Amino acid sequence: TFKSTDSAEGADVVDMNLTYLYNDGEFWHFMNNETFEQLSADAKAIGDNAKWLLDQAECIVTLWNGQPISVTPPNFVELEIVDTDPGLKGDTAGTGGKPATLSTGAVVKVPLFVQIGEVIKVDTRSGEYVSRVK
């Protein structure tokens, strides 16, 4: 039991802006642009955000006692569509969208007019299509 006279030690939790470098298959590696110190995050810290990580992307890495516990990618990323069904002209029945696989493996719903090879902007917080990139 916790008594009102007891004290709790504060957690050493820090958010840092780090640059994503690469994934070696087991860890995702980040660099502090000021000190050039590198940190490695495991799959548990990355979670579902791996599909939004691009080389040289600025991410917010939450550290607890110097170890990464959470990685937040940029709010928006620009990714190339590597696979999607061709949109049929005049096919507006239903929701008006189709699934598209992006260069990182992420799958998002896109408008029918978007084609393979195009680069799109995606909101990483919701996983939704935002726009085409010119």
Residue ranges of domains in the chain: 13-72, 76-132
Note down pLDDT in tens along the chain; length 134 residues: 767 777 777 778 999 999 999 999 999 999 999 999 999 999 999 999 999 999 999 999 999 998 999 999 999 999 999 999 986 666 555 567 899 999 999 999 999 999 999 999 999 999 999 999 98
CATH number of 76-132: 2.40.50.140
Among 94, 132, 122, 96, CA closest to 111: 96
Q: pLDDT value at position 92?
A: 57
Fold of 13-72: OB fold (Dihydrolipoamide Acetyltransferase, E2P) (2.40.50)
The three-state (H, E, C) secondary structure of the chain, written as one string: CCCCCCCCCCCCEEEEEEEEEEECCCCEEEECCCCCCEEEECHHHHHHHHHHCCCCCEEEEEEECCEEEEEECCCEEEEEEEEECCCCCCCCCCCCEEEEEECCCCEEEEECCCCCCCEEEEECCCCEEEEECC
Q: Do domains 13-72 and 76-132 have the same CATH topology?
A: yes
Q: pLDDT value at position 90?
A: 60
**Global confidence as pTM:** 0.80
Q: pLDDT value at position 33?
A: 92
